[in-house]
Amino acid sequence: MITGAVYAGASAAFAATDTQTVATELTVEDGEKLFTANCATCHGLDLQGTEAGPSLYGVGELAVEFQVSTGRMPLQMQGPQAPQKEPQFTEEQILAMAAYIQAEAPGPSFPDEEILDGEGDVAAGAELFRVNCAMCHNVSAAGGALTEGKYAPGLNETSALHMYAAMVTGPQNMPVFGDMNLTDEDKRDIISALLFQQQAVPVGGFTLGNLGPVSEGLFVWIFGIGALVAITVWITAKSN
């Protein structure tokens, strides 16, 4: 009985391992099937786009990984901007679709790990971010509103890969920063500065969303002046 129980348990464990291995080893053909079933309605079977979605020629695997893994694609509904949400596919499925798009319509690819390591020049990266990015993303990378219902998302939880992908592929309203604008070393510095800021401990008390004088002024008006009014009422009541 003991031997049979051990054998049954071992067989089940091996079967689960084999199943997991098969499930994670997706190919370009699997990516094509996933694309056909989930993306071709808008982007077309030939990747040339339709009235509902743009062409994917030249976007490359980096753009596919960014758009799908952040949940922006598949698009939930038409609107000024595709919102970020929980991804609908596993990492293996996303990489399979990205590999298919890269094979059919080559474009920007994944960068070297060195660019994403966060070991660049933080000071130089912060300056480059202020010059090139802060007008939309806020100087503290908290995000901000744009025109016609669009917005620049906050970067406080964005991964290094997605920072790089956004600079290279220019999603939504973001411009593409090519090597003539920002070199790979510049991009590495910006990523390093943002990663440093994500991990930094606020030393000035409540951050108030890092939105600057608007939120700080509102805080003072509501709580600061409110506290003064309350104290004045209390003093008047005590004197009466």
pLDDT in tens, 60-75: 999 999 999 999 999 8
Residue after which a domain boundary falls, among 110, 133, 156? 110
pTM, rounded to two decimals: 0.75
d(Cα 154, Cα 150) in Å, to the nearest integer?
13
Asked if residue 182 is part of any domain, the answer here is yes
Sign of the CA dihedral 65, 121, 117, 139?
A: negative
pLDDT at 22: 45
**pLDDT in the model for residue 15:** 61
Is residue 66 domain-resident? Answer: yes
Whole-angstrom CA distances from 58 to 38, 54, 101, 152 are 20, 11, 9, 24
Same domain, 73 and 153: no
> Is the residue at 208 inside a domain?
no
CA-only gyration radius of the chain, Å = 25
What is the model's pLDDT at position 224?
87
**Whole-angstrom Cα distance, residue 144 to residue 154?**
7
Residue 124 covered by a domain:
yes
Question: What's the domain count of the chain?
Answer: 3
Which domain range does residue 69 map to? 1-110
Clarify whether residues 53 and 143 are in a common domain.
no
Q: Within 10 Å of residue 89's Cβ, how many Cβ atoms?
A: 17
Task: Output the tens digit of pLDDT for each of the chain's 240 residues.
Answer: 888 888 777 777 666 554 444 445 789 999 999 999 999 999 999 999 999 889 999 999 999 999 999 999 998 888 888 899 999 999 999 999 999 999 998 999 999 999 999 999 999 999 999 999 999 998 888 888 888 889 999 998 999 999 999 999 999 889 999 999 999 999 999 999 999 999 876 656 666 666 666 777 888 888 889 899 999 999 988 877
Q: For residue 219, what are its two tokens?
A: 């805080």
For tokens 């104290």, name the residue.
231
